[in-house]
Chain A
């Protein structure tokens, strides 16, 4: 069997917040289960491989985001084709915005996105920065992460990844906490504002992506408990904030 291919899209542009950690964790969690995996980095001047199993889009600064979307326009067909045959796309922050209809540029101008999901990102009045706690129907325990973005994203007919218990997520600002949602799930696309190494802090989410490609996952060997310890510790810290304890 050929190794699981994890494709990191434009790490030199979309990697502001340790985003490469997502690829490392996916590969690691496959490998320790006896599933061979390889990480393929595709820079903006290379064309996207069509054979990937999991594609990763990270976060980045405004200009890098625009350079990335421009470089990706010609690869939308390759990406859509891969998703149609079962590949997964996980996108974070700037990567999430790129997938939609449009997003704000350096001075608030409108940049056309890849149009792969019906979402629209607009500039917010302030920057949302801090820890986030998100309850998704996919998992029993909430997801945790850190967000740092100015853009706000409206979902137009796709489901969010989950409800935001602490933090801003897609909205923030004027939107009441009880109404806030984060990210999106659309077919084989999963995206979130939990930036950087979201899969590091959320091993269940990493395993969810792996399972969607591989099917049933074997259990983890001993020595891998640290991932769950970290996830539980972060949930504990944020849960305390949320439940006012």
Chain B
């Protein structure tokens, strides 16, 4: 009876905030709902600072070959979003959840996952997560309670290497040496990491000395995540992955007469990745600083904006002035507009038919849900 009422509520509220709200209701009525609804079921957890949604979606497609897959696919990755998705996933025989970094420890405990995929860990929303090292320590402690659970990691990330340092069943996939903003010192012991060799190495505690199970180099973030998802699919016995290709979380939007490809960027590493892969089209930056975006905009100064030099750049968003001063210092010319719509209008007037937008989280959600509402 209760489940049916919640299910109805969930159907009514399916869109946008609905998933989170119905999850809130469910958890208020049944605080142990996640644990109860996942008991005895096969669960895969995907977490990391960047790429959770796109990786879970790639993984769901791969595992869909063999399983009836359920789980949260819309980026609603707190306990409420996970609870809501469980109501809709009654018949699924495999559950894939993308999990917010801070919620991962409790979700591991509640779902007793069959396997955990960890993508990366770097500075993000520091007003909320405080320090990357604190998050890493909580992950370490959470995994310690499940010593037999297989974990797959990007072993080129020193923080993930540290998280699984004492864990038994770990598949380490290396992606070559990659600089990490937060890992000048060892995430485990605090000694200075040596980055001069082929990989990072800690000469005090030995972090980085473990052999990787496979090594892939020269990959973009989405290609890395695709490879990590493929490793999970292989674990579940899906051998032919040739028809699956890396897919990013990019939405296309028709606005003001032009086509805009929207890319969600939310912290220094995802911004840098977004700036690395720009097409030769006008660029719109939309920067907000509401809760989930990170209240603090100082991260802008951890990003190199020189790839924007010489391009047509329009800046919008609630914190457009922060972004404007940042790109100005990197020698990038820009114009300021009040909204994404006005950016599109200006770009259209200037004779372009396409543009690409890099948007912070709330701006991405605003833009993509507006389109859906318009049907």
> Which of A's residues lie within 8 Å of B, judged by CB?
12-13, 15-21, 24-25, 28, 44-45, 61-64, 66-67, 106, 127, 129-131, 146, 148, 195-197, 200, 226-227, 229-230, 233
In the bound complex, do residue A148 and residue B130 qualify as a contact, i.e. CB atoms below 8 Å apart? Answer: yes
Chain B residues with CB under 8 A of A45: 192
Option from B132, B182, B321 in Cβ contact (under 8 Å) with A230? B321
Option from B184, B295, B300, B328 in Cβ contact (under 8 Å) with A226? B328
With A17-B296, A44-B192, A229-B321 as contacts: A24 and B185 at CB distance below 8 Å: no
Chain B residues with CB under 8 A of A67: 185, 190, 192
Q: Does B240 interact with chain A (Cβ within 8 Å)?
A: no
Chain B residues with CB under 8 A of A233: 321
Chain B residues with CB under 8 A of A63: 133, 185, 190
Q: Render B295-329 as a binary contact track against A, CB cut-off 8 A, 1 for contact.
A: 11111111000000000000000000110111011
In the complex, 12 of the A-B residue pairs with CB atoms within 8 angstroms, ordered by the A residue number, are A17-B126, A18-B298, A18-B299, A18-B302, A21-B326, A24-B329, A28-B329, A67-B185, A146-B295, A200-B301, A226-B324, A230-B325
Option from B190, B295, B296, B328 in Cβ contact (under 8 Å) with A196? B296
Q: Does B249 interact with chain A (Cβ within 8 Å)?
A: no
Chain B residues with CB under 8 A of A230: 321-322, 324-325
A78, B322: Cα distance in complex, Å: 35
In the bound complex, do residue B126 and residue A16 qualify as a contact, i.e. CB atoms below 8 Å apart? Answer: yes
In the bound complex, do residue B296 and residue A146 qualify as a contact, i.e. CB atoms below 8 Å apart? Answer: yes
Q: Which residue of A lies closest to B128 (CB)?
A: A129
In the bound complex, do residue A61 and residue B325 qualify as a contact, i.e. CB atoms below 8 Å apart? Answer: no
Chain A residues with CB under 8 A of B192: 44-45, 67
In the bound complex, do residue B133 and residue A61 qualify as a contact, i.e. CB atoms below 8 Å apart? Answer: yes
Interface residues of B in 179-211 (CB under 8 A from A): 182, 184-185, 190, 192
Chain A residues with CB under 8 A of B295: 129-131, 146
Q: Which residue of A lies closest to B333 (CB)?
A: A223
Option from B182, B185, B190, B301 in Cβ contact (under 8 Å) with A197? B301
Chain B residues with CB under 8 A of A13: 184-185
A31, B160: Cα distance in complex, Å: 42
Q: Which residue of B lies closest to A45 (CB)?
A: B192
Q: Which residue of A lies closest to B300 (CB)?
A: A18
A21, B330: Cα distance in complex, Å: 11
Chain B residues with CB under 8 A of A148: 126-127, 130, 296
In the bound complex, do residue A196 and residue B329 qualify as a contact, i.e. CB atoms below 8 Å apart? Answer: no
A44, B324: Cα distance in complex, Å: 32
In the bound complex, do residue B298 and residue A197 qualify as a contact, i.e. CB atoms below 8 Å apart? Answer: yes
A44, B191: Cα distance in complex, Å: 12
A124 to chain B, nearest CB (A): 13
A17, B299: Cα distance in complex, Å: 6
Report how many residues on chain B are interfacial, defined by Cβ distance under 8 Å. Answer: 27
Chain B residues with CB under 8 A of A61: 131-133, 182
Question: Which A-B residue pairs are the 7 nearest by beta carbons?
Answer: A18-B301, A196-B298, A21-B301, A63-B190, A12-B184, A18-B298, A230-B321
Known: A28-B329, A44-B192, A195-B298; 20 extra A-B contacts, CB below 8 A, are: A16-B131, A17-B298, A18-B301, A18-B302, A21-B298, A21-B329, A61-B131, A63-B185, A64-B184, A66-B190, A129-B127, A130-B295, A146-B127, A146-B295, A148-B130, A196-B296, A196-B301, A200-B301, A200-B325, A226-B324
Chain A residues with CB under 8 A of B184: 12-13, 64
Q: Does B123 interact with chain A (Cβ within 8 Å)?
A: yes
Interface residues of B in 325-369 (CB under 8 A from A): 325-326, 328-329
Q: Which residue of A lies closest to B134 (CB)?
A: A61
Q: Which residue of A lies closest to B193 (CB)?
A: A12
A74, B227: Cα distance in complex, Å: 47
A127, B127: Cα distance in complex, Å: 10
Q: Which residue of A lies closest to B127 (CB)?
A: A129
With A67-B190, A130-B295, A229-B321 as contacts: A25 and B127 at CB distance below 8 Å: no
A131, B322: Cα distance in complex, Å: 14
In the bound complex, do residue A227 and residue B298 qualify as a contact, i.e. CB atoms below 8 Å apart? Answer: no
Q: Which residue of B lies closest to A28 (CB)?
A: B329
A15, B298: Cα distance in complex, Å: 11
A131, B326: Cα distance in complex, Å: 19
Q: Which residue of B lies closest to A66 (CB)?
A: B190
A106, B134: Cα distance in complex, Å: 11
Q: Which of A18, A19, A148, A233 has the most CB of B within 10 A?
A: A18
A127, B296: Cα distance in complex, Å: 15
Chain B residues with CB under 8 A of A131: 295
A130 to chain B, nearest CB (A): 7
A106, B89: Cα distance in complex, Å: 43
With A61-B131, A200-B325 as contacts: A146 and B190 at CB distance below 8 Å: no
Q: Which residue of A lies closest to B299 (CB)?
A: A18
